[in-house]
Amino acid sequence: MRIVRFAVILIIAVLILSGCGQNVSLLSQAKKQFKSGNYEAALASNAQSLKLKPDYQKAQELLPQVFQAAVKQRTRNVEKIEASGLDSRWDSLVVEYQALIDIYDTMADLPPMTHPKTKIPFEYEAADYRPQLEESKQNAAEYHYQQGIEWSLKADDPDVQKNAAKEFKAAMSYVPNYKDSAELYDQTRKKGIKRIAIIPFEDRTGVSKFGSLSDMLLDQVTRSLLSDPSATEFLEIINRTNVENVLREQQLAISGLVNEASTVQLGKLLGAHEILTGKILQVEVVPERTIHSVGEAEKTITVYQGKTAVEKDVYCQYTKYTKTASANVTASLTITDVTNGTIRVQDSFTGKYEFNDSWVRINGDERALSKDIHTLATKDEPMPPSDTQMVNEALGALSGQFASKLKSYVK
């Protein structure tokens, strides 16, 4: 019974000490954040410290300084933004008023506090910035709505209509279903969609043992684009089958699409705004290679002879082996405007896969080894993936770079 009681007391003591330690750590963190001018983070840390221990005197004394600094910083920002008179100021004001609301919400969530020495309750002057936030959101929505109207009337060009759609979408981010923004967004988004025809990629490497890398790259890039709703918001990829049918009908070879006239001709036949072409330029496989280094380890350990503890020096020699292999795939992409044959995007990328693994073999007393070396000594000799697997991994990395470039372009 005494043992159980002692265990309970011990657990309670550990929890108390743990809470105190965390409490002190949070206050220390708040002080550092306050000193660096990160007032809101300091307020959050300070508040968390007081939630753990409301009568923590040092945290109570820091709180007014942090709180006032955070409010002062945000209200000054509001004054500067208001003074600018910019039509676009409402977006910034929404951010500032939301931050002020968060500051006061943090204060409202604090437990009741009384100074442990003076016994004076902690009080602060509350403020509610929700009306200002709501007004700023309404004004921000109206600003973006009007911007959307202006863009929509400029031209039927997809890029212009895309800008209009983004403005109507921004308006709804501040006030859901603001006026007829939803309807106008839908109209301008459809007009802002770019129809891009992706031509089967060329493989200029002359290497066939890894399969049809050009087809694999095209499929991976297309799949990545189509699976990302943010990428397809203003993008329509023309069906690959349609592209190949037109190529056959017009007796055009992929390698022939290097001049402006052929690219523009194909784009018009497909009803595309732009043509995307790609070329795999190089495939490089660096075969496996193993290097080694020899090391030594010594340690004094304690062993027992019967009941007597005796110190003993132990020694071990080891050889560390490191095996490497890699594969690189380099390709280029070009996006051409169908209306005038100008190149909108041109870039090249290299996808890489690198294999690097180590293991150790020992000669001597393993007790002399460090933990890391001992772990390596328990490993079997690693084997790198096959050349084909490494090339496929590099191709996957390459397709990710291709897709990222295209997504940033169409968004």
- Residues 182, 203 within the same domain: no
How far is 325 from 385, CA to CA, in rounded Å?
9
- For the chain, the C-alpha Rg in angstroms (whole number) is 33
Domain boundary among 152, 170, 192: 192
Residues 242 and 96 placed together within one structural domain of the fold: no
* Domain total in the chain: 3
Asked whether residue 65 carries a pLDDT value surpassing 60, the answer given is yes
Among the residue ranges 112-121, 139-148, 283-292, the one predicted with the least confidence is 112-121
Of all residues in the chain, the percent with pLDDT exceeding 70 is 92
When the pLDDT of each residue in the chain is averaged and rounded to a whole number, the result is 90
Of 176, 192, 208, the domain-final residue: 192
Same domain assignment for residues 123 and 215? no
Q: Which two structure tokens, joined as six digits, stand for 249?
A: 């009908």
- Does residue 169 surpass a pLDDT of 80? yes
One DSSP character per residue, 139-172 reads HHHHHHHHHHHHHHHH---HHHHHHHHHHHHHHH
Residue 240 pLDDT > 80: no
| Short-list 104, 67, 97, 102, CA closest to 81 | 97
Query: Is residue 110 domain-shared with residue 231, that is, in the same domain?
Result: no
How far apart CA 361 and CA 345 sit, in angstroms, is 52
List Cα–Cα distances, 174 to 74, 90, 171, 178, 209, in angstroms. 20, 10, 6, 8, 55
Same domain, 143 and 26: no
CA atoms within 13 A on the CB side of 373: 20
Answer yes or no: are the C-beta atoms of 391 and 329 closer than 8 Å.
Answer: yes
pTM of the predicted model as reported, rounded to 2 decimal places:
0.78
For residues 81 and 53, membership in a common domain is answered with yes
Do 161 and 117 sit in the same domain of this protein? no
Q: What is the mean pLDDT of residues 345-367?
A: 96
pLDDT digits (tens, 9 = 90+) for 362-382: 999 999 999 999 999 999 999
Give the separation between CA 15 and CA 10, rounded to whole angstroms. 9
Per the structure, the complete domain to which residue 315 belongs is given by 197-410
User: Residue 229: which CATH number?
Assistant: 3.40.50.10610
User: Is residue 162 domain-shared with residue 187, that is, in the same domain?
Assistant: yes
Encoded amino acid at 388, one letter: T
**Same domain, yes or no, for 152 and 179?**
yes
Same domain, 91 and 220: no
353 shares its domain with 242: yes
Whether residues 315 and 171 share a domain: the answer is no
pLDDT band, residue 251 (cuts 50/70/90) = low
| Model confidence pLDDT, tens digit, residues 13-63 | 434 444 457 989 999 999 999 999 999 999 999 999 999 999 999 999 999
Locus of tokens 């390596």? 376
